[in-house]
Amino acid sequence: MSISEETVDQVKKLEADKYKYGFVTDIEMETAPKGLNEDIIRFISEKKEEPQWMLEWRLKAYKHWLTMEEPNWAKVGYKKIDYQDLYYYAAPKSMDRPKSLDEVDPELLKTYEKLGIPLKEQELLSGVVAVDAVFDSVSVATTYKAKLTEMGVIFCSISEAVREYPELVKKYLGSVVPHSDNYFSALNCAVFTDGSFVYVPKGLRCPMELSTYFRINAENTGQFERTMIIADEGSYVSYLEGCTAPQRDENQLHAAVVELVALTNAEIKYSTVQNWYPGDETGAGGIYNFVTKRGACRGDNSKISWTQVETGSAVTWKYPSCILQGDNSIGEFYSVAITNNAQQADTGTKMIHLGKNTKSTIISKGISAGRADNTYRGLVKIMPKAEGARNFTQCDSLLIGNTCGAHTVPYIETRNPTARVEHEATTSKISEDQMFYCQQRGLSPEEAVSLIVNGFCKEVMKELPMEFAVEAQKLIGISLEGSVG
Amino acid sequence: MSLLSIRDLHATVGGNEILKGINLEIGPGEIHAVMGPNGSGKSTLSYVLAGREGYEVTRGTIAFKGKDLIDLAADERANEGVFLAFQYPVEVPGVVGMTFLREAYNAKLRYLGKQEIDAMEFLKFVRSRAKTLNMSDDMLKRAVNVGFSGGEKKRNEILQMAVLEPDLAILDETDSGLDIDALKLVSDGVNELRSENHSMLIITHYQRLLNYIQPDHVHVLAHGKIQRSGGKELALELEAKGYAEFSEEAA
Amino acid sequence: MALQPVAKLPFEGLIADARSHKLGKWHSKLSERALEQYAEIGWPGPKTESWKYTSLNKIASGTFSLAGEYSAIVPEDMIMPLTCPRVVLVNGVLNKELSNLEHLIGNLSITSLVDIEDHQKTFFDDLFKSEESKGDLPLTHLNTAILSDAVMLEITEGSKCELPLHIISIGSGNGITFAPRLIVNVGIGAKVDFIESHVGCSDSAYFSNSVTQLYLGDNSEVGHYKLQNDSRESSHISLTRAVIDDGASYDNFTMSVGAKLSRNEVRAHLKGSGVECCINGAYLGAADQHIDNTTFIEHQAEGSSSREVFKGVLDDTARGVFQGKILVHPEAQKTDGYQMNRAMLLSDKAEIDSKPELEIYADDVRCSHGATVGELEDELIFYLCARGIDRESARRMLIGAYISDAIDEVKNIDIRSSIQIVAENWLKQNLYEK
């Protein structure tokens, strides 16, 4: 999705008092000291003018988090995180903003160019245009937000939702990912700063792709983001998250939580392109992306579909999952994960079949280059009542070079005789024949790798909304640069 | 001036010398056939010209349009105008033929410093090329060579050649594995492309392809060297007598 | 991965008894070392990843004593139906009267640990030492710690054994535990097929903790077939570890039908290149049986291939577990690895848990795995019925065919037929009576 020049200019002109139409409330840039304790949580809650129940929920999560241990089962290694050495609210940001694109890191600009990002947007991305001025570029959404409101769609920041729609939030918050779920989600429950909230009313097919981000993520909301999407009976919504442009962030730890609820006959399509800073060639400085994403197909005939293209971050730990409660409900997971240099990704999904005739499809494509490790880890669980459940899983790995690793760790648990579960996995490489054939037709080695890898990922790429697909294709090539020759 | 000028070309594969001093001149618009027994170095010659890794030139020169090819990478040679129709075209899963061809076409345009072509315009162009060849462009809707029959693969190579319009096309055993109908279709395509701007090097074991594509010159390659050159009558002679004359003992 | 040691170390008390038991002082040292390692790793608990689906709590909390009786009657109807030379172990100890070794050819030797001379002890010491420090296998250390005997088969370089050798391990007695230990040393270019039948006397409830070690010399050919048909109240935990050198071929098949709780763990280390390794199996479970097949194939060198086919049928409340891992080292280019587990559930309460795993560090490899679960298709049954076959027979026939797919992988034709008979008998007993 691209921002037109107009909107950018419009945003530039925005004055502070207009932010209230946007997603983020008018927060003064105050900083809380480093570290985590109950006072910090009270401070965050107070800043957000949250009701008492919200504060209590946060504190409950915090107390539980204290009893938990950081998980170590994933095939990733990283320096131990000192949770007391982090800012949990409005970390100070660098005051030196580049004055023009000339001052921006040329490497970054090169990437923008390759992705075909318009100049105006490049300014936004590289911070030439102050993010404060845009303060959540999301306010650009103002124009179409009015349209959405008219149709009955609630699309706002989660902080706003807590204040404006407490009953909805109370009913669903933590109902898919409970505060006790895992270490990182518990931390998120305690300290989440913002994120988006979507409610699509009964019977409505939301006519536009929703995206909180455009390309720019507000500083400080990205770190402990919380997203909640509720699709009421018979509704449909498609939601885009992230962007193809490389995103840099001062915060190394990202622990987001996304909860989706699809009621009877409802469908949610959630697409992600994740391109956080992967760190330098040694992996230093990259983002730790520890995300909990889960959707509940609560109603009969409901459907949740996750599509992700993961190319960024130093460490990715992410398992977008579906709980298929309603009869005939459908869960889908389409994933491309690319790791290069020192990147590590441990990603996959969980499909929990509870209802009758529930169906799930998992297509995972892992590409590993450099010294990277890429793991698919997934669970398919068929519960005794899931009469007629079906699952199909295809996990393919591609290795580029001989210093990287590709791993597949599926767990398949079946407790119903009528279930049919199929799992296939393969590992292969780009053959020398393929490279020569492409080169003989005039493609450079980089272009050849990009083309072949895109072909390898085709089944996933075609699930992406058009807005994302073209750039995501380019992104695949860019993230594998330097992996051959 | 020659389009391609090969002088005293020696090349090794995995340390074994396969080409032992090849001399060959191909002028603009000429069709040359290189014939020879199995293991004579025919395919090696095509790979060496196309710049495949692992095929090392140890001596001699290859000049193409006056430019030295040896130091160019495979993609650079392709963009200079050298096209290799593969004996065994390679499968590229998931990559649709049309996309593949457009990428290749645009790579060449970029190489030449020209504006890239947009998708619609390219589609029209490919359709028109396919039509001249009397072929359908249906193949281009599928992933490159994946699940193609032997004949389809070879036809696909000729279609790619027609679109990329190389100065020099090397047809490596294009007739192998083709039945008579497919052979005719492929040959018709090649003949269609015959013009003073397109030279061809046809590498073949058998004479039968040359019934359909009339060469200007025929060369016999054996033991890494061109043993004899002549007109198209040489091909007929080989058909009658076989390669016995060029066997190890005879050499 | 750190295992979670439980406070109490099961069988610790028995280990001291075992030392003075049968093998004397020589074994004491061995046992002490094994105990140390066992204690360090601890008993596998619920958080131990490799034991995620199989709980050993019942064994750990049970009361067991060491077996004291080493004679029994061979339960002929339970062993693999095959006529060939026999080596019989009762409660883990070689019983020479029950064994018939007359037909053995000279280049195959059988040594019992009970009989070894002093000068052979260093050799065995080294052998056991080589199995130490295998961090994730506490039960192997427990086996070493409570050994009452061990049997070593040696096939000298270049010799080809025409007849297979049948090793029969009998469990006899209630509330006992024993540790069968088999060592198979196959010389360069040698060829041998052998069978392990694990059976029990009547309704004995025992815990058999079995370990088989194999060393396959260059270009050797080994068929290793196993029938696990232990008493229905017993527990059978076994580890097979094969170290395979250049150009050797190893054909392994396990048929699991017995015991209440069983685990058949096969670990193959493909040290050499050009190795052909097959680890196959079938499992048939009914009532409250728990059958675990766990495999680990490690490709260490270039150009080896491995193949795994497992098929299972589970009825009543039976639970099946399949865990299969293929590890390909960076050096192991041109590896070809294939793995497939298929299971069929015949009852609402049956369960299958499957974890096929690939860990790959070389780029020029072809590795694939698959796992499927499904039920018998009604359409197929109907097709047979439409040809005049009654529903029960049709069902049995189709399930039989399903299992045969895996049994057909067995390279030795005679043994393949024997396994087929075992499967058919199981189907008759378990699927007709309902």
Name the residue ranges covered by the structural domains of chain B: 4-250
Place C139 in a pLDDT band, splitting at 50, 70 and 90. Answer: very high
The per-residue pLDDT for range B19-74, each reduced to its tens digit, is 999 999 999 999 999 999 888 899 999 999 999 988 999 999 999 999 999 999 99
Tokens 């680990």, residue located: C296
Are A456 and A398 a contacting pair, CB within 8 Å?
yes
Q: Do C355 and A411 touch (CB under 8 A)?
A: yes
Spatial distance between the Cα atoms of A125 and A144, rounded to a whole number of angstroms: 22
Mutate to test the interface with C, among A364, A385, A408 (most CBs of C within 10 A): A408
Using the predicted structure, report yes or no on whether residue C103 has a pLDDT greater than 80.
no
Chain B nearest C-alpha distance from A355 (Å): 34
Mutate to test the interface with B, among A114, A398, A430, A438 (most CBs of B within 10 A): A438
Using the predicted structure, report yes or no on whether residue A214 has a pLDDT greater than 60.
no
Q: Do B92 and A441 touch (CB under 8 A)?
A: no
Residues of B in contact with A442 (CB under 8 A): 75, 78-79, 104-105, 107-108, 111, 164
Task: List A residues 232-251 in contact with C (Cβ-Cβ < 8 A).
Answer: none
Tokens 């093998």, residue located: C23
The per-residue pLDDT for range A269-308, each reduced to its tens digit, is 999 988 888 888 877 778 899 999 999 999 999 999 999 9
C near B: at least 3 beta-carbon pairs less than 8 Å apart: no
Spatial distance between the Cα atoms of C261 and C321, rounded to a whole number of angstroms: 11
Dihedral sign from CA coordinates of C30, C36, C39, C43: negative
Q: Do A421 and C364 touch (CB under 8 A)?
A: no
Q: Do B53 and A457 touch (CB under 8 A)?
A: no
- CATH T-level assignment (fold) for domain B4-250: Rossmann fold (3.40.50)
ipTM: 0.88
Mutate to test the interface with B, among A441, A444, A447 (most CBs of B within 10 A): A441
Spatial distance between the Cα atoms of B32 and B219, rounded to a whole number of angstroms: 8
Chain A contact for B84 (CB, 8 A cutoff) = yes
Q: What number of CA atoms fall less than 13 Å from residue A348's CA on the CB side?
A: 22
How remote is the C-alpha of C130 from its chain's centroid? Answer: 20
Which pLDDT does position A118 carry in this prediction? 62
Mean pLDDT of A167-176: 95
Q: Do C333 and A402 touch (CB under 8 A)?
A: yes
Which residues, 6 or more positions from A433, have their beta carbon under 8 angstroms from its beta carbon? B90
Are C366 and C397 a contacting pair, CB within 8 Å?
no
Q: Do A423 and C358 touch (CB under 8 A)?
A: no
How many percent of chain C have pLDDT more than 70? Answer: 95
Residues of A in contact with C350 (CB under 8 A): 415, 417
Task: List A residues 64-93 in contact with C (Cβ-Cβ < 8 A).
Answer: 73
Q: Do C357 and A409 touch (CB under 8 A)?
A: yes
Residues of A in contact with C355 (CB under 8 A): 409-412
Mutate to test the interface with C, among A387, A394, A427, A432 (most CBs of C within 10 A): A427
Q: Do A456 and B111 touch (CB under 8 A)?
A: no
Tokens 């429950």, residue located: A189
Which pLDDT does position A116 carry in this prediction? 67
Of B53, B90, B104, the CB nearest to A442: B104
The per-residue pLDDT for range B156-206, each reduced to its tens digit, is 999 999 999 999 999 999 888 888 888 888 898 889 888 888 999 999 988
Q: Do A443 and B107 touch (CB under 8 A)?
A: yes
> CA–CA distance from C376 to each of A83, A415, C129, C343, C344 (Å)?
53, 15, 48, 10, 7
Q: How many CB pairs under 8 A join A and B?
A: 81
* Amino acid identity at A122: Q
Kindly give the pairing relationship between strand C261-270 and strand C235-244: parallel
Q: Do A409 and C365 touch (CB under 8 A)?
A: no
> CA–CA distance from C432 to each of C344, C397, C399 (Å)?
17, 12, 12
List the chains bordering chain B where 3 or more Cβ pairs fall under 8 Å. Answer: A
Mutate to test the interface with A, among B48, B76, B101, B103 (most CBs of A within 10 A): B103
Chain C contact for A394 (CB, 8 A cutoff) = no
Which pLDDT does position C127 carry in this prediction? 82
Q: What does the DSSP 8-state code read for residue A314?
A: S
Which pLDDT does position C234 carry in this prediction? 96
Place A102 in a pLDDT band, splitting at 50, 70 and 90. Answer: confident
Chain A contact for B90 (CB, 8 A cutoff) = yes
Which pLDDT does position A97 carry in this prediction? 53
Using the predicted structure, report yes or no on whether residue C37 has a pLDDT greater than 60.
yes
The per-residue pLDDT for range C193-206, each reduced to its tens digit, is 999 999 998 788 99
Spatial distance between the Cα atoms of C252 and B143, rounded to a whole number of angstroms: 40
Which of C288, C240, C233 has its CA nearest to residue C263? C240
The per-residue pLDDT for range A299-340, each reduced to its tens digit, is 999 999 999 999 989 999 999 999 999 999 999 999 999 999
Q: Do C372 and A420 touch (CB under 8 A)?
A: yes
Using the predicted structure, report yes or no on whether residue A450 has a pLDDT greater than 90.
yes
Chain A nearest C-alpha distance from B241 (Å): 36
How remote is the C-alpha of C264 from its chain's centroid? Answer: 4
Spatial distance between the Cα atoms of B141 and A447, rounded to a whole number of angstroms: 20
| All structural domains of chain C with their residue ranges | 12-376
Enter the tokens of residue C103: 């037909």
Enter the tokens of residue A31: 């900083």
Q: Is the residue at A484 inside a domain? A: no
Mutate to test the interface with B, among A398, A430, A437, A453 (most CBs of B within 10 A): A437
Chain C contact for A428 (CB, 8 A cutoff) = yes
Spatial distance between the Cα atoms of A418 and A88, rounded to a whole number of angstroms: 49
- The residues pairing with C420 across neighbouring beta strands, listed in sequence order, are none
Q: Is the residue at A21 inside a domain? A: yes
User: DSSP of A319-330, one letter per residue?
Assistant: --EEEE-STT-E
Using the predicted structure, report yes or no on whether residue C80 has a pLDDT greater than 90.
yes
Are C292 and C319 a contacting pair, CB within 8 Å?
no
The per-residue pLDDT for range A119-153, each reduced to its tens digit, is 656 665 555 543 333 333 333 444 567 788 899 99
Q: For residues C203 and A344, which has the higher predicted lDDT (pLDDT)?
A: A344
Number of domains in chain A: 1
Enter the tokens of residue C328: 């390909």
Residues of C in contact with A366 (CB under 8 A): none
Q: For residues C229 and A214, which has the higher predicted lDDT (pLDDT)?
A: C229
Are A411 and A441 a contacting pair, CB within 8 Å?
no
- The residues pairing with A376 across neighbouring beta strands, listed in sequence order, are A347, A408
Which pLDDT does position C383 carry in this prediction? 79
Spatial distance between the Cα atoms of C166 and C323, rounded to a whole number of angstroms: 27
Which pLDDT does position A104 carry in this prediction? 67
Using the predicted structure, report yes or no on whether residue A183 has a pLDDT greater than 60.
yes
Which pLDDT does position C2 carry in this prediction? 44
Q: Do C372 and A422 touch (CB under 8 A)?
A: yes
Enter the tokens of residue A160: 């706003």
The per-residue pLDDT for range C359-368, each reduced to its tens digit, is 999 988 888 8
> CA–CA distance from C211 to each of A438, C48, C59, C115, C223 (Å)?
53, 20, 17, 20, 17
Place C135 in a pLDDT band, splitting at 50, 70 and 90. Answer: low
Of C354, C358, C372, the CB nearest to A427: C358
Mutate to test the interface with A, among C49, C323, C360, C364 (most CBs of A within 10 A): C360
Boundaries of domain holding A457: 3-479
Place A2 in a pLDDT band, splitting at 50, 70 and 90. Answer: very low
> How crowded is residue A273: how many other Cβ atoms within 10 Å of its Cβ?
23
Q: What does the DSSP 8-state code read for residue A481?
A: T
Using the predicted structure, report yes or no on whether residue B211 has a pLDDT greater than 80.
yes
Residue of A nearest to C329 (CA): A405
Which of C412, C214, C404, C413 has its CA nearest to residue C309? C404
Q: Is the residue at A485 inside a domain? A: no
Of A443, A454, A459, the CB nearest to B104: A443
Q: Do A421 and C371 touch (CB under 8 A)?
A: yes
> How crowded is residue A202: how many other Cβ atoms within 10 Å of its Cβ?
14
Spatial distance between the Cα atoms of A279 and A371, rounded to a whole number of angstroms: 13
Mean pLDDT of C234-240: 97
Of C348, C361, C370, the CB nearest to A424: C370
Residues of B in contact with A444 (CB under 8 A): 73, 75, 107
Q: Do A407 and C373 touch (CB under 8 A)?
A: no
Which pLDDT does position A7 carry in this prediction? 42
Q: Is C387 exposed, middle or buried (0-12, 13-18, 19+ CB in 10 A)?
A: exposed
Q: Where are the beta strands (DSSP E) in A232-301?
A: 236-242, 253-254, 257-262, 267-274, 288-297
Strand, helix or coil for residue C391: helix
Are C327 and C297 a contacting pair, CB within 8 Å?
yes
Q: Is C344 exposed, middle or buried (0-12, 13-18, 19+ CB in 10 A)?
A: buried
Are A330 and A293 a contacting pair, CB within 8 Å?
no
List the chains bordering chain C where 3 or more Cβ pairs fall under 8 Å. Answer: A
Which residues of chain A are at the B interface, by a Cβ-Cβ cutoff of 8 Å? Answer: 431-434, 436-445, 447-448, 451-452, 454-459
Residues of C in contact with A423 (CB under 8 A): 354, 356, 369-372
Mean pLDDT over the full length of chain B: 90
Spatial distance between the Cα atoms of A264 and A299, rounded to a whole number of angstroms: 4
The per-residue pLDDT for range A50-73, each reduced to its tens digit, is 999 999 999 999 999 999 999 988
Q: Do A427 and C343 touch (CB under 8 A)?
A: no
Mean pLDDT over the full length of chain C: 90
Enter the tokens of residue C159: 């010799």
Are A252 and A480 a contacting pair, CB within 8 Å?
no
Of C343, C357, C374, the CB nearest to A408: C357
Chain A contact for B116 (CB, 8 A cutoff) = no
Q: Do C371 and A416 touch (CB under 8 A)?
A: no
